[in-house]
Structure 1
Amino acid sequence: MNLLIIGFKENLEKIIEILNKQLYFFEREKIHIDKEIEKIGDINFVIYFIRDEKCVKYKNIKNIFNYYIAEAITDIVIDVYQEKIIDRLIYEKCYYLDSEDKKIIKSRVIDYLNRNEYVLQEGIMPQISKKAKILKTVMDFLEENDMLIIDGLISFRLKFFTELIEEALEKNIEDFFVEKEYREFIRVLQYFVELQESKVDLVNIIFKSDGTYQLFDKKMNLIDNDIFQELAEEISESEMNYDDLLISSLITIAPKKIIIHTEKSIQDREIIKVIKSVFQNKVSVCPGCRLCLKEKDNKIKIEKEK
């Protein structure tokens, strides 16, 4: 009884290992599945058949075999071909990057695909795992065919899978360059800080719930806003926003130490991350003081008045 011929170009040893693992059911049931391996050109062929049909105790053995082999092919597509597709797309789309940057992007794409298991589709179920979608496609194919070339299956029946990888790559390339530009931006600001002579020993920054802030010196006196008058005037003449003004102000006075006073709920604001990155070990976050409590009380008062 002929069962199936599987053809593929990729890693023979790895693919045979995956196939054998999924077909363990037949060994356990003491059903002997015969196998032959041939190579024609650059394609490996694994031929499955049953020589002695009398020893088969299941009438629907072909359907059972197809199910387990479909599971194996699904694992092969994800565990073997996914990485090959990523490598090919990176080679095509990231030829201008050095090998280290390519490795970083590849690692991020793999991690992204592992974290985003589900894909969108039309019909009753708007979401389905990519593994389930691949498995169904393979099962449908095996119902009508006794030969399956995995490379062809991916090219013609699993186009969604390649498109999914391509989308993941494009997103991670974009994120990679955004982060690279951000790091360069931080390095430039750090350079300016190093050039500046410190004008004050300590600056306390109180971030208010409305997005504004106040700067105090080490004696908790409000720092004179006249110091930043020229910078403030630039806001109306350029695209500089309120956060840009704060960073420019801090670089101008180059404090030896910065203490940030804010609620825990907004400690992950982008401006706070930038300050920590630029001034590094000069920055600390206040665990709670009268300034923090005062701002918290003001927020509660405002909410009650509303």
Structure 2
Amino acid sequence: MNYEFEITTISDSLPIMEVQERFQWIRQQGYHISIHEDKRPDLGIDMLFLALAGSKPGLVFRDEDINHIFKHQLAELLAEHILNHWEARLIQKEIQRSCRNITAGEKSIIFNKASQFLRRSNDNESLNLLMNYGRKNRICHKAFEHINHNSRITVEGFINFRLPDYLTEVRFAVEMAVEELINEKEYNDFITLLRYFVDTQIPKIYEVNIMMGNEGDFYLWDGNGIEIEEKYMSYYLDDLLLNEINFDDILISILITIAPRRIILHNVLEIMTSTAVETIKKVFKEKITICNGCERCRPYAKDTRHH
């Protein structure tokens, strides 16, 4: 049995040792695999020539079986090669195509975000592994089809013409990254505007204490222990009843209106990822103090645990 296949890909992206290791099992069955490399630095490509030879009739595996296994292992190698060495180039290419009017720094951020979307698009790690395996498996299937009908592959051409679904995933990841970057910039601009407004306002109350509830609700009192939310809450009551505004928005709006010089956050250690808490920290920064537990806040803490 003699079988030959040729791979053309980008320079220094597919080391011979990596290819050799892939076919270790076939060698153990007594077959010979030779791999030769032709580097073309002037073109930025490497050409690998693979040859499978040998015959072991009468054993467990027929020559046809070994040939099939060799092609399947080759397809897996190509799928991993595309994901590990071409994906970054494809992301960069899509960014250059669709993000022409942004800075180099922003392009770098988009690249990192898009890479994350492709590899870790879900909070569940097991689901990420499953999705990545599915992507590799689809590419492997296409590669196996190509290998069965051809004696050579140019990886770039194979990606462009045989993997339209994968290229769509790359484009979508870049689009998502761009959208997230825009949202982050708008959010940061919004935070900057709020900080300016707070810093230039005369404080209506010098100190505000905030007790965060487990259901998104909150309690407010001033430095003298007097509750203050009702005076400011009534303005938003109609919108709250109509579900046009949530507690987080109300809390932030009240604090912006009061513009306190000091904010003490109570009972926030268990809800540090709260959108309201994060926004308050960014707007008021050095004005924030975290209470780790005091006599004043414990009754509220008990109340929120049974809310």
Q: TM-score normalized by structure 2?
A: 0.77
Misfit runs of 4+, over 6 Å: 26-30, 54-58, 233-236
Q: Work out whether 1:111 is the aligned partner of 2:116.
A: yes
**Which residue, 137, 145, 148 being the options, matches 2:150?**
145
Over residues 56-83 of structure 1, what are the superposed CA-to-partner deviations in whole Å (9 max), with x where a residue is unaligned? 9985353343233223212220112111
Q: Work out whether 1:13 is the aligned partner of 2:15.
A: no
1:183 CA displacement: 0.9
Aligned residue runs from structure 1 range 216-255, under 5 A: 216-223=221-228, 226=231, 228=232, 243-255=248-260
1:249 CA displacement: 3.1
Q: C-alpha separation between the residues in 1 aligned to 2:68 and 2:253?
A: 70
Q: C-alpha separation between the residues in 2 aligned to 1:72 and 1:224?
A: 63
Q: C-alpha separation between the residues in 1 aligned to 2:86 and 2:129?
A: 18
In the alignment, which residue of structure 2 is the partner of 1:49?
A: 51
**Which residue, 148, 162, 167 being the options, matches 2:172?**
167
Over residues 168-191 of structure 1, what are the superposed CA-to-partner deviations in whole Å (9 max), with x where a residue is unaligned? 111121111111111111111111
Over residues 232-286 of structure 1, what are the superposed CA-to-partner deviations in whole Å (9 max), with x where a residue is unaligned? 59969xx776544433432343322211234655443211211111111221333
Q: 1:283 to 1:31 in 2, by over 3 A?
A: same
What's the secondary structure of 1:35's corresponding residue?
Answer: strand
Q: C-alpha separation between the residues in 2 aligned to 1:184 and 1:87?
A: 27
In the alignment, which residue of structure 2 is the partner of 1:102?
A: 107
Amino acid at match of 2:281: K
Identity between Structure 1 and Structure 2 (%): 25
1:166 CA displacement: 1.5
Q: C-alpha separation between the residues in 2 aligned to 1:85 and 1:224?
A: 53
Amino acid at match of 2:117: Y
Q: TM-score normalized by structure 1?
A: 0.77
Contact 2:221 2:228 in 1 (8 A): yes
**Which residue, 85, 91, 106 being the options, matches 2:96?**
91
Q: C-alpha separation between the residues in 2 aligned to 1:98 and 1:192?
A: 29
Matched residues, number: 290
Amino acid at match of 1:99: A
Unaligned stretches of 5+ residues in structure 1: 121-126
Q: 1:256 to 1:49 in 2, by over 3 A?
A: same
Amino acid at match of 1:188: L
Unaligned stretches of 5+ residues in structure 2: 122-127
Q: Work out whether 1:73 is the aligned partner of 2:78.
A: yes
What's the secondary structure of 2:220's corresponding residue?
Answer: strand
What's the secondary structure of 2:153's corresponding residue?
Answer: strand
Q: C-alpha separation between the residues in 2 aligned to 1:118 and 1:224?
A: 47
Contact 1:6 1:150 in 2 (8 A): yes
Q: C-alpha separation between the residues in 2 aligned to 1:211 and 1:49?
A: 66
Q: C-alpha separation between the residues in 2 aligned to 1:86 and 1:196?
A: 46
